[in-house]
Each structure stands twice: as structure tokens, then as C-alpha cells.
Amino acid sequence: MNLELFRPELTLAATAVAVILCDLFIKRKGFLTIVSVVGLAVSAVFTLLMWDTGAQSVFGNLLVTDNFALFFKILFLGIAALIILSSTEYVNKFSNFHGEYHALILLAALGMVLMSSATELITLYVSLEVTSLSLYALTGFLKDEKSSESSLKYLLLGAVSSAVLLYGMALVFGFTGTTQLGGIADAVRATASANIMENPGLMMGIVMMIAGFGFKIAAVPFQFWVPDVYEGAPTPITGFLSVGSKAAGFALILRVFYTAFESPDWLSLDWGAIFAVLAVIGMIVGNVSAIAQGNIKRLLGYSSIAQAGYLLVGLATLGIAPGTEIIGRSAILFFLFSYALANLGAFAAIIAISNKVNSDDIKDYAGMGKRAPVLALCLTVSLISLIGMPPAGGFIAKFYIFNGAVQNGLLWLVVIAVLNSVISAFYYLRVVKAMWFNDPASMERVPASGALRLVLALTTLGVLFVGIVPNFVIRLAEWAAEMMGF
């Protein structure tokens, strides 16, 4: 057992404990932010030191450290750090629970980091629940009626989805006799396709696992929790849910389906077709529903459902592509990186604006271009990226993922996706229009803390950098996709 490979996870766990202890003895709660960010940075350094050292197993092949896992670990650690920095003023709304708030974010990130490395079903499930339980608690942190309702709804629906996922895993285990992803792949390949089709247990298990994962990534028809939970949760946690939870879900799906169910060809074609259908439904439902929203957090909730649809285009490509094809995998990784920057930038701006106007209604964003031009500009860049317009990173992300689909015979799916991107421009640009062309209710300035301005600068510049000079991130994504070790 090589504990050196487990240093990022140990650092995160130790930081969560340290934050709780500091909260007991230190009155200056701003110190908790410093401890949390330093712990995340140290964990990131340990992660980077392992880059491109080859796939190595940990704890008897329960976990693996390969470039795929390391890519997602850096992504999750960065997301958690930006969320904590975005919360420096927002945490005053629950001043008695600063320590618990920071510790739960760190534990949620710990679960995500473990998920990216899991190569065994039980480890995968436990990691998933570590993240889920932390997010259930964080969603209800405001302790008002709307926050409590959203937390309860998230908990109940999440428990159902976890039960469905666990039952699906049990069926797959019953069919293959192992919980190791590599062992499952060997068992499936060793069985003639006719025998597999005669045994509905495997197929039912795969379908139930898709349903369980679908809840985590907000894919239709498992998306009913999204709008209410996004609206009721603390705004930084809404941002965390929209990018962290979704990225973790896709990391799991990529690992499980590419490892365990990549062959025989007919099997991957079947689940690829399922993901293609879910992509179409998700894009249409998410974009059409977002048009009528007057609350910006609900709008971004439905937007998140549509974005999951675009990502599912990449999974559909992965299902129908040859085993040596990496476009589907690397396109998903690049899309998630770009989407995380854009969505976190949008929510950072929303935090600053909502703290001032005490509202999440889009009509109250009127005239923000005059009152807070920098905030409005950052939010505009993020929304343009979510549409998929140049020069933002979202344009390259969509082009990359659509290009892979076209190359593998999914032109019809790309046409639907492009049409949905046009629809999405309507509701995203409605927010931009309100900020820059509508008259403000007052000319009072909108302040933002130094940490929040840092987050806005990093995300906005990051979105533009990925859009203008994408080659570096594309290469990292391809490298991570190529180096999936099992």
C-alpha cells in the first residue's frame, strides 16, 4: 500500500478537521478561509507531482492514480477553492456555522476526488455518498423556508437515486461476480452476446446505473430537483452543485462505462444510443423551460440541464466510437473545464449583485452595466461562454464536442444541439440586455470583496484564455483521456 499516492485525499481530510478545530478556538472567522484555501493548494501540489507518472493502484486496486483521475482532482480542488473564496462575505448569513460550512465543502471535494479515482463499485458508491451527504447539508444552510424545502427535496430524491444506483450495481455484481471495473469488463467480454441478452439482469443493472448517475448530472428525466434546489440553496453552493456535482458525475460515468462496458461493440452502441436520446430530451427540456424563468438561479438551473445534454453528446460519441477513439472522452473533459469557469464566474457575479439588491430576479439586474460595469462585464462574458459564442471558451468546447460527434456519424444529434444553442441565446442574452440596456432602479454602486473580485478575474480571464488559446487545455484533456489506467 503506497500512501504517497493518497496524499491529496489525506490532506483534504486533515484540512477539514483543522477547520473545525480552528473554528472552536479562533474568533477571526476569516482565518478559516485561509486554512481551507491553503489545504486545497497543498492537496493540488501533491496531485500535480503525480502527473504523468503512469497508472498506479492504491488500496488493492480500489483506487487508481492516472492522468484521468489527476485531471479531475485538479478541477475539483480548483472549484472548491473558488467557491470558498466566493463565500467570504456570503458566510455572514450563517455566522454561527462558518467552520461547518467550510468543512462540508472540503468533505464534498474529498468525495469528488475519490470518485475520480474509484475503480471498484463499492468504493465508487461510498465516495459518491460522502459528496452527496455534504451537499444535502450545505443546501439547507440558510435555514429559511425555501432553503429547508430545497434541502429536504434534494435529500429525498437523492436517496431514491442512490438506492436505484446501488440496486443497479448489485445486479451487475450478480451477473459478473465482481465489483472491480476491470473484472466486470472481463466477465462481459467472456460471455457470448446471445447469453447476455438472454439474461436481463445485466441490462437492467446498466439501465439503473444510468438512472442513478443521471440524477447526479441533472439529466432528463432525472432533473426535477434542479430548479427548486438551485433557487433555495445558498448561492455559492448553487454554483458548487452546478459544476462540482456535474463534473463528478461525468467522471464516474466515463470511468465506469469506458472501463466496464466498452465492449462488446453492441453493448457500447446500446448505451451510446441511450445517452444520445437523453441528450436530445435534456437539451430541449432545459432550454425551453429556461425561457420562462424570471429568477436567475432557476434560469441557470434549467441551463444546467441543457448543458448536461450537450455533454451527453460526448458520451453518445464515446459509445459508438471505436475503442481507440479519444475525441469523445477528451471533448467531455475540455467542456467540463470550460463550463466550470463560465458557471463559477456567473455565480460569483450573482453573489455580489444579489447581496446588494437582495434579489435574484432578473428584472432587478436592470442597469447593472451602469451601476457595476465590471461585474456586468464578467457576467456577460460568462453568459456568452454558456451560449457557445466566440471568443469565450464555451465556443471551443461546443465545437470540440460537436466535431467528435460528426466524425462518428452523429450529425443529426449535432444539428439538434446547434439549434438548441440558438434557443439558449434568447434567455442568456435577455439577462445581458437587462444589465446593459435597461434603466437602473438606482445608481448606487455594487461592492464586492477582494476575494470575490479575485474569483471574477480568474474565471473571466480563464474563459477568454480557453477561448482564444485553447491548445494547452485541449492537450491536457487529450493526455488525460489517453492515460486512463485500470
User: For 65-124, how does the pLDDT look when each residue is reduced to its tens digit (9 = 90+)?
Assistant: 888 899 999 999 999 999 999 988 888 887 778 889 999 999 999 999 999 998 899 999
pTM listed for this prediction: 0.93
Q: For residue 18, what pLDDT is reported?
A: 93
Give me Rg for the CA atoms of the chain. 21
C-alpha cell at 371: 451601476
Contact 465, 105 (CB under 8 A): no
Give helix then strand counts, H and E, for the chain.
Answer: 21, 2
Contact 46, 7 (CB under 8 A): yes
Q: Cα–chain-centroid distance for residue 221? A: 18
- 182-197 as b/e, with b when 16 or more CB fall inside 10 Å? ebbbebbeeeeeeebe
**pLDDT at residue 278, as a whole number:** 92
Other Cβ atoms less than 10 A from the Cβ of 292: the count is 10
**pLDDT at residue 197, rounded to an integer:** 59
Nearest partner of 459 among 362, 372, 398, 377, judged by Cα: 377
CA angle 116, 323, 394 (to 5 degrees): 55
Helix (H, G, I), strand (E, B) or coil at 180: strand
Tell me the C-alpha distance between 429 and 161, whole Å.
Answer: 34
pLDDT value, residue 486: 43
Flag residues of the chain having pLDDT under 70: 1-2, 192-199, 322-326, 483-486
Quick one: which of 153, 115, 110, 155 has its CA closest to 136? 155
* Amino acid in the structure at residue 337: F
Give the pLDDT score at 432.
93
